């Protein structure tokens, strides 16, 4: 098989340092006295039980008291978060409906699919509440402890298949980058419908290794059959303090493997209304209950306000375009589809 590259240039780096918690929020006088006037809907463009959903369900009950209204989680999965995003784009901009997108994965999928009806910059930033990203997990039957041993196992033909989270997804591209730029010589990549099915496949040894988020990898490791062996991000993972780092083998992949859970509102949602929601997110994220949950689970819970969320969103598409040859990737996606149909 001819090797291809999906990188434009070298030396891609993380998009910046994370913003720490600023403490409990209070009324800063910027809020709309008439908001909220009814319950709120928090749209999650992924299935229930995933990493994004887990964070939202932890924070939502803690946001209800400062807002004075209930919050309903509305899962709208499909098309790598584009189904839920399109739905959110069409909602009223009164602040009672908002959502979480995972940047840069959100922008990557939007760019691959060449969506014309809307673009990420149309949405209004609110906050970001956590950081998570990709790791590599391996079934323990294969006695593989780090990336070098995984490279050897594929090169020697001891294992062949590698699992990822859907044709055309960011994890699809990462699988190709690992092969072409990091000498991970898998013979076949196997698409699954999200992180949960990838975990199940690796746990059962249907596939020996695959890509999982650090949030879901923790659950897989608890099964007793799986180990998380490589951190594909730049941030440290408290859950896996001794895990191998992909940067030991090449350039950073954080521009595509490290996600900020960013809350956004429909276009033209008033800033004062968004500030009310951001204040509630900050109060929830800085609460003892949420911090204890983060410490116990190893999830990275952090808060950034409107300006921080705006910074997380700005320039992401441009950065991806600097690093990714999207036309080449689309051709590979088409070939993957043809192979599956054939």
CATH number at residue 234: 3.40.190.10
**Which pLDDT score is estimated for 338?**
66
**Which pLDDT score is estimated for 309?**
96
Q: What total number of domains does the chain contain?
A: 2
For residue 294, pLDDT beyond 50: yes
Is position 334 within any domain? no
Q: What share of the chain is helix, strand, coil (3-state, %, to 5)?
A: 45, 20, 35
Q: Are 94 and 202 contained in the same domain?
A: no
- Residue 92 lies in domain: 40-132+256-323
* Angle at 211 (CA atoms; ends 164, 58), nearest 5 degrees: 110
Q: Are 246 and 277 contained in the same domain?
A: no
Is position 191 within any domain? yes
For residue 223, pLDDT beyond 90: no
Length of the chain: 342
Domain boundary among 206, 223, 251: 251
User: Shortest CA distance to 97 belongs to which of 247, 235, 286, 273?
Assistant: 273
User: Shortest CA distance to 261 belongs to which of 119, 106, 112?
Assistant: 106
Q: Are 232 and 294 contained in the same domain?
A: no
For residue 94, pLDDT beyond 90: yes
Is position 60 within any domain? yes
Mean pLDDT of 149-170: 94
Is position 98 within any domain? yes
Q: Are 107 and 137 contained in the same domain?
A: no
**Which pLDDT score is estimated for 339?**
66
- Confidence band, pLDDT 50/70/90 cuts, at residue 165: confident
Mean pLDDT of 304-308: 96
Mean pLDDT taken over the chain: 88
- Confidence band, pLDDT 50/70/90 cuts, at residue 190: very high
Q: Are 146 and 228 contained in the same domain?
A: yes
Mean pLDDT of 70-89: 93
Find the CATH number of the domain harbouring 318: 3.40.190.150
**Which pLDDT score is estimated for 60?**
98
Residue 252 has a CB neighbour count (10 Å cut-off) of 18
**Which pLDDT score is estimated for 206?**
97
Mean pLDDT of 253-275: 96
**Which pLDDT score is estimated for 333?**
86
**Which pLDDT score is estimated for 20?**
37
Q: Is residue 214 within 8 Å of 133, Cβ to Cβ?
A: yes
Is position 10 within any domain? no
Q: Are 185 and 158 contained in the same domain?
A: yes
Q: Is residue 291 within 8 Å of 273, Cβ to Cβ?
A: no
User: Shortest CA distance to 121 belongs to which of 139, 146, 101?
Assistant: 101
Domain boundary among 200, 222, 251: 251
Is position 120 within any domain? yes
Give whole-number Cα distances, 200 to 28, 45, 187, 265, in Å: 47, 21, 20, 34
Mean pLDDT of 71-90: 93
- Confidence band, pLDDT 50/70/90 cuts, at residue 26: very low
For residue 182, pLDDT beyond 50: yes
Mean pLDDT of 214-242: 90
Q: Are 311 and 220 contained in the same domain?
A: no
For residue 323, pLDDT beyond 50: yes
Q: Are 202 and 292 contained in the same domain?
A: no
Domain boundary among 221, 251, 281: 251
User: Shortest CA distance to 18 belongs to which of 170, 121, 99, 133?
Assistant: 133
Q: Are 183 and 242 contained in the same domain?
A: yes
Is position 12 within any domain? no
- Confidence band, pLDDT 50/70/90 cuts, at residue 341: low
User: Shortest CA distance to 15 belongs to which of 338, 313, 273, 326?
Assistant: 313
Q: Are 114 and 263 contained in the same domain?
A: yes
Q: Are 162 and 268 contained in the same domain?
A: no
Percent of the chain surpassing pLDDT 70? 89
| Run of H or E residues at 83 | helix 82-89
- Confidence band, pLDDT 50/70/90 cuts, at residue 32: low
Q: Are 172 and 229 contained in the same domain?
A: yes
Is position 1 within any domain? no
């Amino acid at each position: 098989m001819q090797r291809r590259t999906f990188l434009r240039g070298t030396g891609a780096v993380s998009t910046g340092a994370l913003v720490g918690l600023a403490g409990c929020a209070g009324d800063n006088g910027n809020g709309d006295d008439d908001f909220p006037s009814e319950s709120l809907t928090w749209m999650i463009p992924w299935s229930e039980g995933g990493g994004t959903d887990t964070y939202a369900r932890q924070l939502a009950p803690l946001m209800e008291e400062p807002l004075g209204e209930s919050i309903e989680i509305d899962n709208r999965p499909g098309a790598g978060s584009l189904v839920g995003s399109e739905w959110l784009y069409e909602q009223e901009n009164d602040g009672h409906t908002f959502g979480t997108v995972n940047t840069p994965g959100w922008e990557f999928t939007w760019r691959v699919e060449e969506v014309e009806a809307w673009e990420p910059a149309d949405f209004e930033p609110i906050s970001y509440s956590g950081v998570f990203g990709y790791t590599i997990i391996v079934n323990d039957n294969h006695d593989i402890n780090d990336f070098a041993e995984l490279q050897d196992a594929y090169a020697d033909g001891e294992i062949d298949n590698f699992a990822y989270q859907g044709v055309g997804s960011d994890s699809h591209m990462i699988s190709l980058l690992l092969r072409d730029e990091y000498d991970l010589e898998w013979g076949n990549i196997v698409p699954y419908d999200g992180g949960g099915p990838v975990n199940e496949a690796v746990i059962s040894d249907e596939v020996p290794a695959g890509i999982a988020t650090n949030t879901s990898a923790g659950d897989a490791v608890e099964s007793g059959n799986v180990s998380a062996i490589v951190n594909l991000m730049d941030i440290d993972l408290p859950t896996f303090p001794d895990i191998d780092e992909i940067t030991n083998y090449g350039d950073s992949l954080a521009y595509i493997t490290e996600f900020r859970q960013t809350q956004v509102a429909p276009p033209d949602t008033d800033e004062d209304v968004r500030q009310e929601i951001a204040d509630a997110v900050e109060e929830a994220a800085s609460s003892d209950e949420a911090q204890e949950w983060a410490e116990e689970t190893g999830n990275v819970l952090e808060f950034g306000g409107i300006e921080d969320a705006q910074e997380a969103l700005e320039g992401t598409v441009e950065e991806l375009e600097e690093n990714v040859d999207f036309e080449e990737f689309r051709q590979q996606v088409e070939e993957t589809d043809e192979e599956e149909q054939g």
